[in-house]
Structure 1
Amino acid sequence: MEIRTMSSPRSSYHSLVEERALEELRPRYESRGYRFVVHPSADDLPLFLDGYQPDAIAIGPLPNVAIEVIANHRGAEKAKIANVRARFEGQPDWKFNVVYGGGEPLAAGILPPAAKSAVFDQLRQAREILELGYTKPALLLGFSLLEATLHTRESDTYTRPRKPATVVQSLVMDGLVEAESETRLLALVATRNRAVHGDLSIEIVPADVRFLLNTIEAVLAG
């Protein structure tokens, strides 16, 4: 059964989101020896992807990577992603990466780099807040520190703000976070988003926040 290409039709909003996400991904893959192809043709794709065109592919050290950029994490998008992801089961030479590029694409702003010492200092504060039982502030500070930690590992003097899910994806793609941790971190992103946007009923589990803080510490120490 043919799966409709998720990137068509594209709204101008999605096109801008996709362009910016792929622009950021290209140097990451090329620096690791991959050939990065945007909007690959059918000839560039393996037979098991017949009828589906990812937004980009990265060909190089196995496994090769098919990349899909989505502008949100809504239910309809989740269903499409699950449908495509099933195609990669039993395909050891390929993996499927979903990049969440939503947000305000026209928002301007750059962030100065954070020193590791400053991140460690605030990480200690986040742990103290968590131990006092304030799970929500600890979670929100944790995601701020996760992005700051990514900045410490990049060579750029300044960088653009990124969505929490994009930060997680970047850390996984750079090999700084294990792929097995990605699912748990993305679930925490969803919790964080609900908390930020006024869901006062959301339950924030202290063990999950502790996992986030431990992840930050591991990346900093790596």
Structure 2
Amino acid sequence: MTVGASEREVLTGLLPQLEAEGYEVFIAPGPPLAPHFLDGITPDVIAIRDDKKLVVEIVGRNGNSGRLERLQRLVKDQPGWELRVIVVSPATAPVSLAVQPAEAIARQIDQVDRLVEAGVFSAALLLGWAAFEAAGRALMTDAFRYPQTASRLVEYLAGEGFLRPSEAARLRGIAKTRNALTHGELDAAVTPDDVRALVDVLRMLVGLVEERQANTSPAAEA
């Protein structure tokens, strides 16, 4: 289908969710990524995981029922494949997140420092990662309008040149620890060096945010 504005918003919010579930995600894939059994239909999304594969179709309230019925017939007898249909409505549209001012992000970094001094490293890491996502959203608002997976956040910032390769490599490891904590692995090992490495990146990013927000403020435009 041709994805309209509201469908595109749902798709943007869906990608981090699927990645967080462990899927590798492909948008509107053609051959050879699109399964041959779809008989020429280009799906909205293909999501692949070791134990399951999804064909994802995003439909409006007046969606193409003939296409959906055909997809259901084509997918139902395929081992390991599942059709997931998402109907666009105000309830399914993701809520975009506000861009935080540099001052608010800097205050969070100060709180992270205090937690490190107190030896509370797990809480420091989680709070620091929240500040990291806030800084990323301030720098790349369109890309990070909705909640992000840790891996997407690192890869996009690295791809746009905000992170050096060595910083991105370190953050990938920290992201794994962050994900473990977030999903209930309470004994995940967090080291002071991990948190300090994250804080170093945060201070660099918040400097860029300050510069960008100063240049786009009403006073700067006057």
* TM-score bin, normalised by smaller chain: 0.5 to 0.7
Which amino acid in structure 1 is aligned with residue 162 of structure 2?
A: L
Cα 1:201/1:150, change in 2 over 3 Å = same
1:191 to 174, 177, 184: 177
- SS class of match (1:168): helix
Across the aligned residues of Structure 1 and Structure 2, the Cα RMSD in angstroms comes to 3.3
Cα 1:199/1:157, change in 2 over 3 Å = closer
Determine if contact 2:121/2:190 at 8 Å carries over to the other structure.
yes
Deviations 1:22-44 (A, max 9, x none): 9xxxxxxxxxxxxxxx8699xxx
1:218 to 167, 183, 204: 204
* Structure 2 residue 112 is matched with structure 1 residue 126: yes
Q: Aligned-pair distance for 1:164?
A: 1.1
- Percent identity, aligned pairs only? 25
Cα 1:190/1:123, change in 2 over 3 Å = same
* TM-score, length of structure 1 as denominator length: 0.53
Determine if contact 2:115/2:124 at 8 Å carries over to the other structure.
yes
CA distance in 1 between partners of 2:199 and 2:48 (Å): 27
Structure of larger gyration radius: 2
Determine if contact 1:149/1:216 at 8 Å carries over to the other structure.
yes
Tell me the equivalent position of 2:164: 178
1:169 to 148, 152, 155: 155
CA distance in 2 between partners of 1:154 and 1:114 (Å): 12
Would you say how many aligned residue pairs link Structure 1 and Structure 2?
136
Tell me the equivalent position of 1:137: 123
Determine if contact 1:113/1:158 at 8 Å carries over to the other structure.
no
Tell me the equivalent position of 1:148: 134
CA distance in 1 between partners of 2:169 and 2:124 (Å): 20
* Structure 2 residue 22 is matched with structure 1 residue 18: no
- SS class of match (1:18): strand
| Unaligned segments of structure 2, at least 5 residues | 1-17, 34-45, 51-85, 87-91, 209-222
Which aligned pairs between 1:43-54 and structure 2 lie closer than 5 A? none
| Unaligned segments of structure 1, at least 5 residues | 1-12, 23-37, 42-52, 54-68, 75-104
Q: Moved runs in structure 1, 4+ residues, more than 2 A?
A: 13-19, 38-41, 69-72, 105-109, 154-158
Which amino acid in structure 2 is aligned with residue 170 of structure 1?
A: Y
